[in-house]
Amino acid sequence: MIAAGMCVQGSIEGAEGVYVRGEITGDLLINDDGPPDTGTVVVDKTGIVRGIVSGRRVVVLGTVEGPVIARTALTLGGASVVHGDVYCGQLQPGPGSVIKGQVRTLTAGMDALAVVRAQRGV
């Protein structure tokens, strides 16, 4: 967990999952190579991520300033805002949620992270 009031500078990578109540300036890349109950990213109402957010399941209740990759499902809470393109298997938008970018459905074999990195010149 990244607690409210905490500010992380730099990327976070892992396999389990993460709950963000604070701020992250950097990419948040959670892989889904583990058991089916791992790979979840939650950006709480007070959470802000400035960078790529990637996980098996992604729940945004706060703000993401960058692309979101949700390999199975992306859930957006009522006051959530995503400033970037979205790549997901399923999209579950809440009333009042905002995506300021394009929404693309993931297809078999698509490497959305490679696509996003290529767009950024990384």
Q: What percent of the chain has pLDDT over 70?
A: 100
Beta-sheet strands, E only, within the chain: 7-9, 12-14, 17-20, 23-25, 28-30, 40-43, 48-50, 53-60, 63-64, 68-76, 81-82, 86-93, 98-99, 103-105
Question: Picking from 24-33, 75-84, 97-106, which range would have the lowest pLDDT averaged per residue?
Answer: 24-33
Taking the model in full, what pTM does it have? Answer: 0.94
pLDDT digits (tens, 9 = 90+) for 64-82: 999 999 999 999 998 999 9
- What is the rounded average pLDDT for all residues in the chain? 93
Question: Domain extents for the chain?
Answer: 7-114
Mean pLDDT for the stretch of residues 10-29: 94
